Structure 1
């Protein structure tokens, strides 16, 4: 047996590093498509309702939307839903390698815009959470509070790493912030996926207080845990860990597609048709 033949036989059929990179890209593309659908819904519902002055239409789809006499709360609510369009639209562009490498000026300014809006929306959401009557269970309050606090923490750490030119650390903190910022989107996807696996029965879901509601509200936590495992696999030399992480990313991509489909039919399309 020649040396070249032995090398060929010992070479793995699948390169773990390439598989991990490909799987991460697949998940990101599916997430970007799902978030695009969410962006279009925000524009078609919240922006159109705002321009028409039809705030009662918003109240039909949210809890504690506009409350008579609550000037600060109403302003925070409106800014929150309107800024959600910009943060959801600008976020994915920060993680497209071609954009980051070829249009660095745009990447920097879009990143500053994304971080600023993320800090504003999360701070406003925390204020709304504690200034207005709480709905749902205490566990839901904890999950939502943790999401808002982590957005601020991850954003500050991403900025700190960028200023110190530690770009690998900056990328990791920015990815964590992206997951936390997407908490509202993950919340919808969680219900879509739960609807799918229970064939519409959705046991344990009751006015945002049931165990299923808490699990669904925690979807972003599961996504964050998945990201941490993916980042760990990138740093480790083990091909097995990389392949496991790649398989998990592909499975997560499929879940995102299925969840986006059912979330659209549960939440977004019926609202627009009403």
Structure 2
């Protein structure tokens, strides 16, 4: 009985660490989505599309109407998916609003495909900052999004909801790769009091090479460790994963604070 209680408390600690991470992440994502809507939306409505380039180099190019439209659609859909994504993960939303969950999920998957394709266009056709390493990483992220979206839909269609939920969470994590990148970057700038390990002009360097792959590989790896910890009876392993998740939450919390105070909130008022 004592052993069972200990195991329960360890799993409770693990679940608490995940819930805390989710709450902190959602707050940060919704701040980011609000920033995207207010900054880029206001610039678009007022006709000052060139303001996009303040934070998104080559976001707006005079005369390239189709390219500018693709970037604008990409930004709008990114904001929508960031707001709607967390609602798919909350269990009570699935229980109390199954119809909303169903159609919001379909919209989420559709948008995931569109932003992946538009992201590939922005990198390989329109051009973006960073070098070949970042472009390859972004392309891998886009492929992971499309694969995860397909499998999440496939298992939902097959009514295999256990596998559907796992792939839906993987989709949620890789879709937010860009957000993780920004949070990680601002965490790094905050603790180092400026750029270290990369050139801010060319946006290349060893740290950015690491971060550009870490933005989706680390969240995916932590999710796999969490799944294994859920099934494990090894006390040390379960507590270790819970601790790692707590530390990861602190890291992204600092990154969210740095990004929000440094660019997101100020640009909302721009």
TM superposition score category, shorter chain reference: over 0.9
Aligned in 2, Cα 1:237/1:13: closer, same or farther, shift over 3 Å? closer
CA shift, 1:159, in A, is 0.6
Within the candidate set 234, 256, 265, 1:238 is matched to 234
Q: Give secondary structure in 1 for the equivalent of 2:159.
A: coil
Q: What runs of 5+ residues in structure 2 fail to find an aligned partner?
A: none
Q: C-alpha separation between the residues in 1 aligned to 2:71 and 2:34? A: 19
After superposition, the C-alpha distances for 1:25-79 in whole angstroms (9 at most, x for unaligned) are 1111111111111111112101111111210111222111122332322121110
Corresponding residue for residue 225 of structure 1 = 221
Q: Bigger radius of gyration, 1 or 2?
A: 1
1:235 positional shift? 3.0
Shift of 1:11: 4.1
Counterparts of 2:14 and 2:265, CA distance in 1: 34
Deviation at 1:13, TM superposition (A): 7.9
Equivalent of 1:166 in 132, 137, 160: 160
**Which deviates more, 18-27 or 149-158?**
18-27
Moved more, 54-63 or 172-181: 54-63
CA contact (8 A) 2:122 2:128 kept: no
After superposition, where does 1:56-135 map in structure 2 within 5 Å?
A: 56-135=50-129
How far is 1:156 from its partner? 0.3
Instruction: Report how far residue 204 of structure 1 moved.
Output: 1.4
Partner residue, 2:194: 201
Name the CA distance, whole Å, in 2 between partners of 1:262 and 1:105: 37
Cα RMSD for the two superposed structures: 1.8
Q: Distance in 2 between matches of 1:94 and 1:131?
A: 32
**Structure 1, unaligned stretches of length 5 or more?**
1-6
Q: Give 1:113 deviation, angstroms.
A: 1.0
Is 1:215 the counterpart of 2:245 in the alignment? no
**May I ask how many residue pairs the two structures share in their alignment?**
267
Question: Are residues 1:264 and 2:260 paired?
Answer: yes
Task: Tell me how far apart the structure 2 counterparts of residues 121 and 169 of structure 1 sit (CA, whole Å).
Answer: 24
Please state if 1:154 is matched with 2:154.
no
1:8 CA displacement: 4.2
Select the residue among 136, 140, 155 that pairs with 2:134.
140
Q: Are residues 56 and 169 of structure 1, via their aligned partners in 2, closer, same or farther at CA, if it must alter by over 3 Å? A: same
CA distance in 1, matches of 2:131, 2:80: 30
CA distance in 2, matches of 1:10, 1:169: 28
1:178 to partner: Cα distance: 0.7
How far has the Cα of 1:202 moved from its partner? 2.4
1:17–1:239 Cα contact (<8 Å) kept: no
Distance 1:151 1:13, change over 3 A: closer
1:4 counterpart residue number: none
Q: Distance in 1 between matches of 2:236 and 2:162?
A: 23
Equivalent position SS for 2:6: coil
SS of 1:184's equivalent in the other structure is helix
CA distance in 2, matches of 1:30, 1:10: 30
* SS in structure 2 at match of 1:237: coil
